[in-house]
Structures are given as C-alpha cells and as structure tokens.
Homo-oligomer: A and B are copies of this chain.
Amino acid sequence: MTDDDRLIDRVPQPPDVPSRLAAQIAFIVEVDRLKTVLRRSVLVADDRRENDAEHSWHLALMVTVLAEYADEPIDVGRTLKLVLLHDLVEIYAGDTFLYDEEGAATQEAREREAADRLFALLPDDQCAGFRALWDEFEERRTPEARFAKAMDRLQPLLLNYNNKGGTWRTPGVTDADVRRRKSVIGDASADLWSYARTLIAEGTRREWLPAADA
C-alpha cells in the first residue's frame, strides 16, 4: 500500500483547508477502515463477527462502568483514550487471533510498522501523542494501561460465555489455555479476575469450553 491508498485521496478534497486541519481530517477518514477489520468473536446481539471499531467502543463503555474495580486508581479519561485507539494499528496489520501462535510471532513488528504509518497522517505533535498512548497500552506499565488491557481480555470472554462457547470452540483450546491468556485481567483487578475465572469455570462445567484434564 502506498500513500495514494489513503481513503481521503479517493475524492478531491475542498480547497483552502488549513494544513493542520486537513491532516487531522485525513486521519479521521482513514480510521473508518477499522470498521472493516473483523475479529473472531461473534456478537451476542446478532449472528455475525464483531469488528474492531465496535469492539473498541464496547471496551470504552466497559471502562466507564467498571472503573471502580481497578485495584489502583485510574484516570478514566486516559484509559478511555487507550482503549479507543489500541486496535488502530490493525487497520494495516490485521487482527491477530489470541490463540494464533504463528501470527503472534510477527505481530509486534507488523503492528509497529502500522503504527508508524498510520499515526504519521496526523500533525507531528498528535502523532507523538497517539504513539505514546499506543506504546503505553502495549507496555502495560501504568494502572490505566493494565486496566485497558483487562477490558480487552474480559470483553470477548463475555461474548463467548453468552454465546455458549463462541471462539472457545476453536480446536485445541482448553480451559487452561483460556485461563492463562486471560490472567492479565488479574494485573488490573482482583474482583474482575475472580469474575472472569467464574465465567471460565462455569463455561467449562456447562461444556461450552473443553476442560484440559477431560
């Protein structure tokens, strides 16, 4: 893909727009692509796969409702920004399924390249700001980033449980795998990790998720 593939370049833009605003608009139009990046998870409300934009919105709403369960105080506004932009790199790098070991090997490099390219559409100061927020989310060194990551792991668990399995039914996946991949929830909130383990245990008991020792 070259710079000519920006969505904004498909139609002539109006003349005399200040260059800073024009760059911001180019970014805002470009991120429309996030609505076309499909995840593996299936909605509860409909029988189709979720896309990254819907997923990001859902995480933001979860932050608003569940912030009180954070073990360390969090700045809700910054946590919202972290979840709103955390998947943007998938516009160019694609979604990597949580249980895809092969994709995981190249994921970091692909996503860094995508971040470089996407955030460069913005004016320099905002490019740096978005990149810093994305790095913060990835590195999980702040309470906000840990809580954002916990939401990112809890949300598909809610979809799977309420779909009586969903992606839990991926061949080879067991309750032990799910527990291991979801354990980062416990880095942000003991209460929500306890709830997540309850969902996994109850889903296993109901045979929506195979038990490792079965």
Q: Which of A27, A51, A191 has the most CB of B within 10 A?
A: A51
- Asked whether A21 is an interface residue with its Cβ less than 8 Å from the other chain, the reply is yes
Query: Does any Cβ of B come within 8 Å of A10's Cβ?
Result: yes
**Are the C-beta atoms of A65 and B195 separated by less than 8 Å?**
no
Please judge, given known A-B contacts A54-B35, A54-B54, whether A158 and B14 are in contact too, CB under 8 Å. no
Contact partners of A11 in chain B: CB under 8 A? 161-162, 164
Chain B residue with minimal CB distance to A7? B44
Check if A177 is an interface residue, CB within 8 A of chain B.
no
22 contacts between A and B (CB under 8 A): A14-B199, A14-B201, A14-B202, A15-B202, A21-B195, A28-B66, A29-B158, A29-B162, A34-B57, A35-B43, A35-B46, A36-B43, A36-B45, A51-B54, A53-B58, A57-B60, A60-B80, A61-B84, A65-B126, A77-B77, A77-B78, A77-B80
Contacts of A3 in B (CB 8 A): none
- CB pair B66–A81 under 8 Å, yes or no, is no
Query: How many monomers of this chain does the complex have?
Result: 2
Which residues of chain A (6-36) have a CB below 8 Å from chain B?
Answer: 7-8, 10-12, 14-17, 21, 24-25, 27-29, 31-36
Q: How far is the CA of A30 from the CA of B80 in the complex (A)?
A: 20
Asked if A8 and B162 sit within 8 Å, CB to CB, the answer is yes
CB neighbours of A35 from chain B (8 A): 43, 45-46, 50, 54, 58
The answer for the CA separation of A55 and B78 in the assembled complex, in Å, is 20
A159 close to B (CB within 8 Å) = yes
